[in-house]
A and B are shown apart, each in its own frame.
Chain A
Amino acid sequence: MSLTLGTLTALIGWLVIRFSANYLHREAGFHRFFIALSFFLAGIQFVLLAGNGLLAFVGWEMCGVSSFLLIGYAWHRPVATGNALFAFVTNRGGDAGFLLALGLAATWLGGFEWTLLSKASQISVVNDRLLVIGFVIAALAKSAQLPFSAWITKSLEGPTPSSAIFYGAVMVHAGVYLMLRLEPLLLQVPDVMFGLVVAGVLTAIYAWLCGLVQTDVKSALIFATLFQVSLMFVAIGLGWTTLALVHLCLHAGWRVWQFLVAPSWLVITRERPPPPPAWLRHNQLLYTAALQRFWLDKLADALFVQPTASFSRDAHAFEAHFIDHAIGQPGQGKAVHADRPLVVADGLLGRLLASASDVLQRIEYRLLLRGKGGTAEKLMHRAGAYLRTLENLLEQPRYLMMAVMATFVVIL
């Protein structure tokens, strides 16, 4: 499975890069685009080929970051940057699920190897369920299933080739892949599989209804993509994993083509697609809901983005009121010593640094003067030993895990 998907992804990735070389010719963000696209390719291949969850998670994050960078490709347009932020923040919800699952796996199973995870029968069903739910949340968020769907419809601000590979062909399927990868684990918790079916069916209805009212080509295609991806989730939920896998591969191939030729829509199509059945056609309420995409983007905005924004505002205020005073700001300094006007410092940290530089200078004198065998060398030996121990600790997965989680807590 990894090999098939990896090959398909490599092919699509290569074709899209070739496409972009002409398409983005002379754009201001040319190099930026290629860097982000290559970064994404690396990330998605990590997800697909990794033998353990941790490496897959690293790839998962790389995809998220490059997606953020490319939605915000036209950074001078507020809509683009706003939507990039929206997609990024919503996706963090899925990452939290992934992290939770990895953490639980580390605690209960002692590792993240996929093979280990698929032999998870030694833990209780309750624990298993919790573990799987974490992964399911990650998969739903990445594949933009309900309730996370809003981000993908807002992510079309980037250049056409990036929309094609991220949201049409490859990244949107990452969640499906994750579910397929964890199939043995899933099979043990039928209720979660049922949940997948429900999420899939709801998303399918949502995407189908919204797709009917879309008036721009890219949005119409993204809802079509979403619809078929949700069918894959339904298939997985019903246990038809082979079907889902085949569907995934074929869908990716078609969609990348359809997205790349989206600018030809005027030439390709001749007439309006047939209208929906009459009972639906005249329903004003449903029409409004579909046109407004069931208000999901507004809801997600209120639930995810605004709290994050206000938290960051608080953090900013905290920084402005306390930390800045402690650290000081560049260019605001006053000379510390009257006789040395070059050393200027502001705030507590500035002063600290200034005095630290004094101390260092003295140490340097001492080291230089005393040469070998001084206190400095002993100190360095001791520091080295500490570092080695820390390194050993970090090599154990759960501490590494904690470090990663700590990083994310800080980021969020």
Chain B
Amino acid sequence: MNAEHDLPIRDRLAHWVEHLTHVLPAQAPIRDFVHHNTLHGFQHLPFAEALSAASALTGATTWWPEDKFRACLASGRINIDDLNAALDDAGLADLDQPVVRVLRRRDVLLASLQAGNEAPDACHLDWLRRETALADDFIFGHFSRLTVAMPAAADAQPWQPLVQARWAELCGRVGKAWTWRSLLEHLSGEDVLERVRSILQRHLAAHLDLGVAAWRNPAQGQGFFAAWRASAGFDLAWEMDELPNVRDEILHLPDSPIDVLLEELPRLIADESLWPGYLQRLSLELPGWSGMFLWRERHPGRGDGTPVVMLDYLAVRVLLERLLTDDLLRRLTGGPLQLAELPEHYAARPEEFLVRDALHQAWLPEELQGRAASLVDQARHEHVDAEDWRHLAAAIASAMLGAQAANAAWQLAALCRQLGLTPADLETLSRDEIGALQSCAGSLGAEQRRQIWLLAYERHYRQQLFAALTANHARQVTPATPSAQVVMCMDDREEGTRRHLEEVAPDIVTYGAVGFFGVPIYWQGLDDAARTALCPVVVRPTQLVREQGVAGAEVEQGQRAARRERRLQWRERFYQATRRRAVAGPILTALGSLPALAALTATTLAPGWFAETARRWRQQYDGRLATRLVLTAEQKIAATPEQPQAGLTDGEQIKYVEDFLRMIGLTGNFARLVLVFGHGSGSRNNPHLSAYDCGACSGKHGGPNARIFAAMANRREVRAGLAERGLAIPDSCWFVAAEHNTCDDGVEWYDLDSVPERFQPALDTLLAQVGEACRAHAAERCRRLASAPVRPTPWKARQHMLGRASDISQARPELGHATNAAAFIGRRTMSRGLFLDRRVFLISYDPGSDDDGRIVEDILLAAGPVGAGIALEYYFSTVDNERFGCGSKITHNITGLFGVMEGADSDLRTGLPWQMVEIHEPMRLLVVVEQTPEVLTAILNRQPPLQELINNEWIILASKSPSTVAIQVYCPRRGWLPWTGSSVLPQVAHSVDWFAGESEALAPAIILGGVR
């Protein structure tokens, strides 16, 4: 490789690596779990196209399987109108053209969707023939005769060209959808990836480790490639795996990973244009590890100083791929063969290929399957005679034709049954007409079918929601003098809390906003060792707010910090030394044993009580300390995210408060108390802890933001500044802050002792009301948890939630955002008094004071990606929990403090665990904005990020007129479509009357007690 070529290829490689950020999981180390669109790299494509592309690239399922949707149709979750409308929504052409006699294309497609396109495999079909009345079924019999008769002519055809075409097709996939290992696995049934992973996994984990291992690779500082090479050179495993020449190769490798890549890539694949595709495919084979490696390369500041360079990883990966596929190829073909010669090898042996290929096909009858498997297995150990292959291939080829006929017959029969054709009709159908039916039903691809199902599924919920909004339109009343105003996070879970609060106290008005309350800051609590950013991930704050002991308590604060440090050090010692120290380990084990057994017994018998007691003990030991915020900065300095300004200046405080209050539309008629209510989640023994926290605060608790906001809004200077800008907060109003624990439904109040005496009565009332609402909310949450009490009283429910949150054995402390489905941006009056089943993000916005749409534009820009991120992450983790999610929690094993593996040897698992999504209904987020279509269109036209989300249909936008009942849905293809439909809704007095005893998702209802 000479110097001139060096630069361009280097750049090209960098470019390819850059491209990998679009396809690999972008999940940060698990401590900072933030929801994002799993397919963020495909967001520039329309939803359906992106899903197909992702599926082709990663092999994942991107839609829910059809049989789930069909079960929804059977249970009434989808009805036939939805399906019919979905055909229009999908933009299919010629729906009303007749296909056969009176049957229109629409009828045939509807029937085909309901009948399904899956045919039973050979064994199942045999079984059905034997055990059920299928053999006597007239329609199936009729079509069996027809379809068997049809390809009779084809029987005489030689099968070899077909097989050779198939082989060429498979070979063509290499470098695009497949790697050599996929092809070889297909042929031999042996997966090289298993070995690659077990070779790589320990090295990767050791290199990326953030604090489990005590001993690091001595060569680690030189990067992954050098570290791996240093170890691999000593590794005896090569000899044990019968790869003795590998050590020599490793010893003679070039020093630069780029040179290794340039040496190895041509050996894998000669065509240079396929290299980027091949690298992409290769890194997607271990998506978790590749993604984490790339993330660490892109965020060097978040690691521990170890150099992480993606090319290092790719070089090792490519090298291993070549070494191990070479080895497998040698064993497979029994001779020294280059990868490039593989296509010709099997092109010359179609019989063998057919047998190996058929092994993966479902249509293969059981008996042939057994024979093929044993022949392939035999070939692994000894030479198999060409005659044996030929013999079996002939048998398989004839079975293939039979199976195709049976499939076609099965599908046709199901279709005709669904269309309601009688045997008499069938007799008169001509062969051409049957062909027309078949081709019409077959005109929908598997992905398109599922897309139509999804559209129907979403539409059904949308109809319910629009009906509810329409029915509620006449009930919009605002209390003239609210007793309190409560500002909560827009989070779907808080919909329940707000509804119950309004039922408990109809004179309270609630608001919803992005949960960092417009205060993007770094926060350092009293006990925090470092600062954390409390704002959406895309924002990098430049101000730091610290929590400190109250003035005059510096000595106590120091003592407390020392005691706490001592306690934590001992804890650290117990957990770390018992696994790491040779002498101290056994001694500490002996010391810790009895307390550990006692703790385990206590937490098993009474988790809630034990956690509370332990917390009290800890607090007693550390010492209690009243705290204050170091909030105000005297002067503005030029701050950067790395060197933030300590505190906020008066000007900044005024701006934050004003912007936020105007955004949610709280600009007058202030109640005596305004409660700013952040949220977070506390659970035990849960690696995915931060996935339950506030997404707007980068997966952290939002309480500090609420506390800071309230403190700012109470300051005299800030109020004076606000008054100057026309936003007068009267002295009869006080801001208080609290944090809602969404897991145990508890509330932590902040700075209550600084509330002036005159607000005390109002505060006492509010405290009681919020407590009652949270208990009622806990009772509502119980209904979705199978292990919770049925129809509990609010007190019992709250007790259950307390126990649940502190139970170390609980894999579902809460259900997070599961079932989230929609977002409302508008006044609360639009939805107040509706039971929305904790499925809707509620964002307060007053269209009355926003004629040009500037405020809603900002809201859409901030909340749109957050909501879409949550909804889409849940969507993808639900539709393919194996690929996009991280499987069941119960075998999870924390790795390197940055992720989880299944057991001790697997890919790094990203996405949401199955326990979080099992009850989720995978849908795209429906965003209903209380604003006119004209304003929304104008916003859409000037905002490319929103165009990407909305025009590509990653979320669905609807407009609710601020003044009338009119609702319109935006369709990128057809523009704004007015909604019409029935708006009759069940009415109940209280939420509890609607949900009591129900455990499934509930349709909206009107809650009469929510509005007075």
Contacts and interface: CB of A to CB of B under 8 A. Distances in A.
Given A159-B890, A254-B589, A216 B578 contact: no
Given A213-B206, A320-B374, A282 B890 contact: no
B209 A215 contact: yes
A22 B604 CA distance: 10
Interface string A239-263: 0000000110111111111101111
A285 B235 CA distance: 8
B236 to A, nearest CB: 5
Contact of A219 (B304, B600, B904, B906): B904
Nearest to A299: B240
Contacts of B381: 313
Interface stretch (B52-60, B555-563, B803-811): B803-811
Contacts of A77: 902-903, 906
A295 B237 contact: yes
Interface in B284-312: 304
Given A160-B891, A211-B580, A257-B600, A267 B689 contact: yes
B786 A266 contact: no
A261 to B, nearest CB: 6
B240 A298 contact: yes
Contact of B579 (A73, A221, A272): A221
A263 B593 contact: no
B901 A216 contact: yes
A107 B214 CA distance: 51
Contacts of B597: 11, 253, 256-257
A240 to B, nearest CB: 13
Interface stretch (A12-20, A93-101, A181-189): A12-20
B213 interface: yes
Interface stretch (B569-577, B654-662, B699-707): B569-577
B689 A287 contact: no
A55 to B, nearest CB: 28
Contacts of B214: 212-213, 272-276
Nearest to A153: B904
Contact of A26 (B686, B786, B902, B906): B786
A367 interface: no
A216 B240 contact: no
A47 B234 CA distance: 43
Contacts of B240: 295, 298-299, 302
B572 A250 contact: no
Interface in B860-902: 888-897, 901-902
Contacts of B904: 153-154, 156-157, 216, 218-219
A404 B893 CA distance: 39
Interface stretch (B215-223, B341-349, B626-634, B771-779): B215-223
Contact of A272 (B211, B241, B589, B893): B211
A292 B235 contact: yes
A122 interface: no
Nearest to A77: B902
A291 B231 contact: yes
A224 interface: yes
B70 interface: no
Interface string A214-248: 11111111011001100100000000000000110
Contacts of A292: 202, 235-237
A284 B230 contact: yes
Contact of A288 (B212, B231, B586): B231
Contact of A216 (B31, B568, B590, B895): B895
A287 B212 contact: no
Pick the most buried of B211, B216, B597: most chain A CB atoms within 10 A of its CB.
B597
B213 A214 contact: yes
A248 to B, nearest CB: 11
B905 interface: yes
A264 interface: yes
A259 to B, nearest CB: 11
Nearest to A205: B582
Contacts of A252: 593
B322 interface: no
A208 B216 contact: no
Nearest to A74: B891
Nearest to A320: B374
A407 interface: no
B895 A266 contact: no
A211 B812 CA distance: 31
Given A254-B596, A257-B596, A22 B787 contact: yes
Nearest to A231: B586
The A interface, classified by DSSP as helix, strand, loop or mixed, is helix
A319 B810 CA distance: 48
Nearest to B191: A78
A264 B31 CA distance: 11
**What bracket does the count of chain A residues touching chain B fall in?**
35 or more
A215 B786 contact: no
A388 interface: no
A340 interface: no
A74 B808 CA distance: 22
Contacts of B30: 266
Given A78-B194, A212-B213, A283-B218, A18 B809 contact: yes
A218 B893 contact: yes
A107 B332 CA distance: 52
A23 B807 CA distance: 10
A199 B75 CA distance: 64
Interface in B336-389: 374, 381
B936 interface: no
A23 B895 contact: no
Interface string A38-66: 00000000000000000000000000000
B893 A217 contact: yes
Nearest to A329: B367
A79 interface: yes
A271 interface: yes
Interface string A1-45: 000000000010001001111111111000000000000000000
Interface in A175-220: 204, 208, 211-220
A287 B217 CA distance: 7
Interface string B191-229: 000100000001101100111111111110000000000
A24 B434 CA distance: 51
Contacts of B892: 160, 263
Contacts of A156: 893, 903-904
A222 B211 CA distance: 17
B534 to A, nearest CB: 19
A268 interface: yes
A269 interface: yes
A264 B808 contact: yes
B972 interface: no
B903 A228 contact: no
B980 interface: no
A171 interface: no
A280 interface: yes
Contacts of A227: 582, 585
B640 interface: no
A337 to B, nearest CB: 22
B592 interface: yes
18 contacts: A15-B600, A154-B904, A156-B904, A157-B891, A211-B579, A214-B212, A215-B212, A249-B593, A256-B597, A257-B597, A263-B687, A276-B214, A284-B217, A284-B230, A287-B215, A289-B234, A295-B236, A295-B237
> When A and B form their complex, which 5 residue pairs have the shortest distance between CB atoms, in order from nearest?
A224-B579, A257-B596, A157-B903, A253-B593, A250-B593
Given A74-B903, A250-B594, A284-B219, 15 more contacts: A15-B604, A22-B809, A156-B904, A157-B903, A160-B892, A161-B809, A212-B213, A256-B596, A258-B575, A262-B893, A264-B684, A266-B687, A280-B215, A284-B230, A299-B240
Interface of B: 30-31, 194, 202-203, 205-206, 209-219, 230-232, 234-237, 240-241, 304, 374, 381, 529, 568, 571-572, 575-576, 578-580, 582, 585-586, 589-590, 592-594, 596-597, 599-601, 604, 684-687, 689, 786-787, 807-812, 888-897, 901-906, 915, 918
